[in-house]
Copies of this chain bind each other. A is one copy, B any other.
């Protein structure tokens, strides 16, 4: 997301036992905040993806490495839970490491920490490695040469992982919109983090005036493309949590999420 990832000399890999984590320093720059003066979810989200990509690349299983084998990493789940979002000019570091491999999935965890040691928050993500030709996920635990097992770091994060998100979508959608040019990522799909923005945009400014978003949990099910009509359904689940589902034509679920203010 930001140039500093690559250019800042303090971006680095670190050893934890035999395995390697990545640490990437950032500063909240003007024009990267939301109206409350804190880092926007769009920026943070894309930075989490960027750090995943950088760390994987440094370890030899990044986008380019996988592409040679006709494989591609696909984000399946993302949970971000924050004590608070950093403010303009505050420095923070995103640490990321791979904690687990199971069947067709791998868990990548994150800690977002201030320079004074405070924890801004944590994130939990789940990825699959898809074969480009067959579109089937690889069995990650049976890859040759032990696959990615040697990269595992046994360190957890103090937030709940992804749960099951269920909501009724038989009524009228809360909003219907279309995917356009500026929603697309380099693969021609709607950017994973853009869905989070679409969902955050369901809520009135008065809600953001009163309280920040504390936790976002997203389950990615299908890709959507330019021109797709997206129907967004939402249900208030109580305790500050709103469930959201985005469907494309044919009622196909693209994304489900639970968004918690508080």
Contact = CB atoms under 8 A, between A and B. Distances in A.
Interface of A: 1-8, 26-27, 29-35, 37, 40-42, 46, 49-50, 53, 63, 88, 180-188, 191, 197, 200-201, 203-205, 208, 226-227
Contact of A185 (B7, B35, B46, B183): B35
A31 B8 contact: no
Contacts of A181: 34-35, 200-201, 203, 205, 208
Contacts of A35: 181, 184-188, 226
A33 B186 contact: yes
Nearest to A177: B177
Contact of A46 (B31, B88, B197, B201): B31
A32 B53 CA distance: 13
A255 to B, nearest CB: 15
Question: Top 9 closest A-B pairs, CB basis?
Answer: A180-B201, A3-B4, A35-B184, A2-B2, A182-B197, A205-B226, A31-B46, A2-B3, A3-B27
A64 to B, nearest CB: 11
A182 B53 contact: no
Please give the count of copies of this chain that the complex contains: 2
Contacts of A33: 185-186
B42 A29 contact: no
B2 A34 contact: no
A182 B201 contact: yes
Contacts of A227: 204-205
Contact of A40 (B34, B63, B182, B226): B182
A182 B42 contact: yes
A123 to B, nearest CB: 16
Contacts of A26: 3
Contacts of A8: 3-4, 7
A226 B206 CA distance: 10
Nearest to A33: B186
Central interface residue in A5, A46, A197, by most chain B CB within 10 Å = A5
A204 to B, nearest CB: 8
Central interface residue in A41, A53, A182, A187, by most chain B CB within 10 Å = A182
A32 B182 CA distance: 11
Contacts of A200: 180-182
